[in-house]
């Protein structure tokens, strides 16, 4: 004979199972109704179409997308400059100079030596800089000589803890990044403030 507790457990289990069957049946029929053929079939493709009159323009769902100017290697140098500047000029006095450590493999030996002179001294009062590239332009690129130059417009946000307050300021400037081709790999060979 079943105890009252067992009877309640079995009855509630059956009720929950029936409720789940009803819910799944409703979801299945609703899905079937949505999938019925209404006769208004529209086939949509998401293909990129290149304009034959201008191969630098790609049409994608009526959006015009232009291809970036330059060869893949030139674009690589430009992207490397953006990455290097944003990472090198974003730091704090509490990050153990990781911004320098992370970039050593992408810089020439002379540049690494200079970067090591730019370390931040650790301090209990926070100070830091966040840098973002606004624009970039490849001004020279010559693979035969192994030299390239990218000029970037950047904005920097400075923050410094003074007492219990944080003083903030912003600055916009232009920097030039020089590259050198070393062992068939582009390395940053210099970063300069450009005075306009």
pLDDT in tens, the chain (196 residues): 778 888 888 889 999 999 999 998 888 888 777 766 555 555 555 555 555 555 556 666 666 666 777 788 999 999 999 999 999 999 888 888 899 999 999 999 999 999 999 988 888 888 999 999 999 999 999 999 999 999 999 999 999 988 888 899 999 999 999 999 999 999 999 999 887 6
> What confidence score (pLDDT) does residue 45 get?
52
pTM of the complete model beyond 0.75: no
Rounded Cα distance between 67 and 139, Å, is 18
Choose which CATH entry (3.90.1150.10, 3.40.50.150, 3.10.450.540, 2.30.30.30) describes domain 69-194.
3.10.450.540
Neighbours of 121 (CB within 10 A): 6
Based on the number of CB atoms within 10 Å of its own CB, is 119 exposed (0-12), middle (13-18) or buried (19 or more)?
Answer: middle
Give the model's pLDDT for residue 164: 86
* b (16+ CB within 10 A) / e for 163-172: eeeeeeeeee
Beta-bridged to residue 192, according to DSSP, are 176
pLDDT at 139: 94
Domain ranges within the chain, ordered by starting residue: 69-194
């Amino acid at each position: 004979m079943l105890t009252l507790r067992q009877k309640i457990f079995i009855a509630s289990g059956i009720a929950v199972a029936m409720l789940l069957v009803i819910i799944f049946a409703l979801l299945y029929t609703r899905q079937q109704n949505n999938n019925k053929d209404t006769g208004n079939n529209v086939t949509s493709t998401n293909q990129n179409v290149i304009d034959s009159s201008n191969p630098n323009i790609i049409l994608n769902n009526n959006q015009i997308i232009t291809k970036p100017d330059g060869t893949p290697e030139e674009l690589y140098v430009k992207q490397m400059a953006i990455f290097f500047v944003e990472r090198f000029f974003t730091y704090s006095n509490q990050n153990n100079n990781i911004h320098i450590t992370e970039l050593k493999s992408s810089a020439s030996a002379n540049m690494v030596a200079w970067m090591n002179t730019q370390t931040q001294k650790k301090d209990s009062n926070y100070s830091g800089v966040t840098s973002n590239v606004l624009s970039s332009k490849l001004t020279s690129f010559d693979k035969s000589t192994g030299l390239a130059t990218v000029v970037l417009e950047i904005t920097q946000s400075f923050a410094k803890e003074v007492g219990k307050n944080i003083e903030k300021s912003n600055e916009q400037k232009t920097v030039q990044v020089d590259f050198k081709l070393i062992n068939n790999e582009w390395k940053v060979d210099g970063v300069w403030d450009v005075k306009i």
